[in-house]
Structure 1
Amino acid sequence: MKFNFSERLNKLPAYLFAEIDKMKAQVKAGGVDIISFGIGDPDLPTPKEIVNVLKKESEIDINQKYPSYEGLLEFRESVSGWYDKRFGVSLDPGTEVLSLIGSKEGIGHLPLAFINPGDVVLIPDPGYPVYRAGTVFAGGIPYLMPLLEDNDFLPDFSCIPANILEKAKIMFLNYPNNPTSATADKHFFNEVVKFAKKNGIIVAHDFAYSEIYTGEKENDSFLSVNGAKDIGIEFNSLSKTFNMTGFRIGFAVGNEDVIKGLGAVKTNLDSGVFQAIQLSAAYGLDNEFHVVKDNNSIYKKRRSLLVGGLEKLGYKVYKSDATFYVWAHVPEMNMTSKDFAISLLNETGIIVTPGSGFGGYGEGYVRFSLTISENRIEEALMRMGA
């Protein structure tokens, strides 16, 4: 018997990273040694101290029961304490912090709390595919905001038509940006606050790469500018910061009403985060930021090696010190980003992510992830002809 997918599911393209995994498996089955610059899953280990806390807390009976929906107060206090110390942002751990099963889960669920069928959600393009997926699942209409290199991959709000703004309820932003690696400063965030207040829009800032930078300047929090908490929230994750992708632990912080709405969705759809994981994450936020500095030193060396090699091969690379991604123009002018990625995989066994997988304005680019060793980067560059 054949069953038909729902209309909302049919509106979505195949999930990019699942497609890449399938291509990778096919080539690998042919005996090819795959070098993957694809998915942004850190190869560096989770700090041992965090893992040890998880082991210890997992053995305690109370932590094996259903967790609280909004998250352990200890974890939320660690989040608020870190935001105060790192960004100078004051948060009430009781009402302005919510634990998440990774930031992806919270991003995907947010539209269910505030979007009715026909409402518009402003989405950066190129951008993380979940912004669009969450919007479609909620019955909303995605409106794509082009991120162009000429504008340092920042959206131009003046280009959004008035009839769209009348229906817009949420705007997703993401800086440091995936996939472009672009950053935004407080001047831009101040403009965002003015724009959102004028148009009655919730700002949902995806800040998953807050601690990944290879230059001297730290990344700015959206919530650190005046008035941001009046209209927005920020999503963050322990996945990239402490190499905890498999733990599935993140958080949302900011406007009390928006946090309350997202929390209401979660109470109906999930049962919270395993308490032992929350306690291990709290330990990390309280104690382990020396690891972040060490990780960033490694990413800096990898970035320098990869960018230098790509430029020797004729690639035009967007220069940035943020995230662990390198965003580069497709070197073959007559090829789409997907065709180039497939060709590169078949000819060299190297996986890169086609920019078109992040939206139409990602066409013409490919994304390299710095989550492989220097030796493997050197091997990849040799295979590519460097």
Structure 2
Amino acid sequence: MADHFFARANPEQKDVSTVPDFKPSNIVKRLPENYFSGIDDAVSEYVRQGVDVINLANGNPDRPTPEPIVEALGEAARKKENQGYSPFYGKSSAREAVARFYAREYGVELDPDSEVAVFHGSAIGVVGIPQALLNPGDVLLTTDPCYPQYRSAAELAGARFHAIPVREEDGFLPDFRTVPEEVANRVKLLMLNYPNNPTGATATREFFADSLVFAAKHGFPVLNDFAYGALGFDGRRPISLLQLPDAKEYAVETYTLSKTYNMAGWRFGFAVGNASVIGALKHYHTHAYSTVFGAVQDAAAAALLGPQEPVRELARLYEARRDRLVREMKAIGWDVAAPQGTFFAWLRIPDSFEDSESFARLLLERAHVAVAPGRGFGEQGARYVRVNLLNGEERIREAAARLARTGLFAKTGGHGA
């Protein structure tokens, strides 16, 4: 009997036609395919054929983590206290480092126990806060375009998704007066992202103030995804939503070390702000996720409290690359706008092309230059592509040269051929 059982369990002998086809839940069915994985697959196919693709589509930082942070991890990994489970709410030293970081950088005072949550990368906060706050039928309000995961966060919570169209002429900042009253009355979370992915726009103090007034009027919290908080250009430093007077009454902010310290693979993020939102997130987190490796928390604390010159150098590097990108693209006849922050640029496609998807496909096929079609970020992205600043200036120059050789761009001004 036992032999028969194991014979059936052997994959080499199993009739695959009899393998059950288990269906995913309705929530999983509603989730779109990961937008970025499709781009990666297209690029990988060319690379497998030996083609040199200049990848301007991805969001993976190209610079190494500063060596002092790496050394701090090595030292912390040897500590016995870090070789078991870390505390559910994170090490007190890590939460205190976050509070000290916000006090130093933004003049914001935080209670490490009630106003700070730490987790594996800021995506957990971006998705987890909607899970912790929204019920089916509630509205998650954000912008169009937006980071695709915001839409997924609404789906996972069973919430409705409403996006306010934002436009270049308005600095890619939403006008809350355009939100229908019946929608505004059902909003339970406003999600912002400034500095913004994909547009590279930054928020003004006046806009953040308007956001808090709108939230107070309708009684919902505001989440600012501050992933690119360290990356502002032209001498303008991005402001934190929490810097506004009494902001913690309605505001929370998520942050990640991925961009600021080139720690993308380390997966350390945190949320700060309104204690009730932070408390709900922490409670949700203890059920949905595991704790963060203690050595990573120690290294994160070292990054937050250590010398910050590498951060300033990184911002200067991205600004130089941005300037190179704009110069090179304008030189070939593609009139593009310079982003104010992040390591992305949001480029309007030439008027002669139908949409961003066909345009991106053409650039990959004819120039072997990969860009991210803007439609993946929302309907307002149909006439844009997102490109990164994660290649050196020589590669940016080479990308422009390849685009010029396609003949798709005319040196006549406007938005190209």
TM-score with structure 2 setting the length = 0.90
Contact 2:326–2:337, Cα closer than 8 Å, also in 1: no
2:259 is matched with 240
- Tell me, which stretches of 5 or more residues in structure 1 are unaligned? none
Paired residues, what number?
Answer: 386
Shift of 1:26: 1.1
Residue 340 of structure 2, aligned match among 321, 342, 346: 321
Counterparts of 1:70-219 in structure 2, within 5 Å, are: 70-219=89-238
Contact 1:314–1:331, Cα closer than 8 Å, also in 2: no
Runs of 4+ in 1 over 3 A off after TM superposition: none
Contact 2:132–2:284, Cα closer than 8 Å, also in 1: yes
1:253 aligns with 2:255: no
3-state SS of paired residue (2:86): coil
Residue 291 of structure 1, aligned match among 303, 307, 310: 310
1:15-66 deviations in Å (ceiling 9; x for gaps): 1111111111111122210110111111111000000111111121210111
Distance 2:40 2:149 in 1: 18
1:129-153 deviations in Å (ceiling 9; x for gaps): 1111111101000011111112110
Shift of 1:168: 0.7
1:43 is matched with 62
Contact 1:307–1:326, Cα closer than 8 Å, also in 2: no
1:382 aligns with 2:401: yes
Paired residue type of 1:72: K
Contact 2:323–2:338, Cα closer than 8 Å, also in 1: no
Distance 2:29 2:403 in 1: 37
Distance 2:148 2:307 in 1: 30
Contact 1:184–1:220, Cα closer than 8 Å, also in 2: yes
Distance 1:376 1:131 in 2: 32
3-state SS of paired residue (2:347): strand
The structure with more radius of gyration:
2
Distance 2:144 2:340 in 1: 21
Contact 1:175–1:205, Cα closer than 8 Å, also in 2: yes
TM-score with structure 1 setting the length = 0.97
1:14 is matched with 33
Distance 2:351 2:27 in 1: 35
3-state SS of paired residue (2:248): helix
Shift of 1:332: 4.9
Paired residue type of 1:103: S
Aligned-residue RMSD, C-alpha: 1.2
2:408 is matched with none
Identical amino acids, percent of aligned pairs:
39
Query: In 2 relative to 1, CA 168–334 (structure 1 residues): closer, same or farther, beyond 3 Å?
Result: same
The answer to which structure, 1 or 2, has the higher relative contact order (CA under 8 A, 6+ apart) is 1
Distance 1:49 1:82 in 2: 17
3-state SS of paired residue (1:384): helix
2:321 is matched with 302
3-state SS of paired residue (1:99): strand
Distance 1:288 1:342 in 2: 43
Distance 1:379 1:147 in 2: 32
Distance 2:292 2:357 in 1: 36
Residue 356 of structure 2, aligned match among 303, 312, 337: 337
Shift of 1:164: 0.6
Distance 2:176 2:317 in 1: 36
Contact 2:373–2:385, Cα closer than 8 Å, also in 1: yes
Contact 1:332–1:340, Cα closer than 8 Å, also in 2: no
1:330-384 deviations in Å (ceiling 9; x for gaps): 1253321111111111111111111111111111000110011112111111111
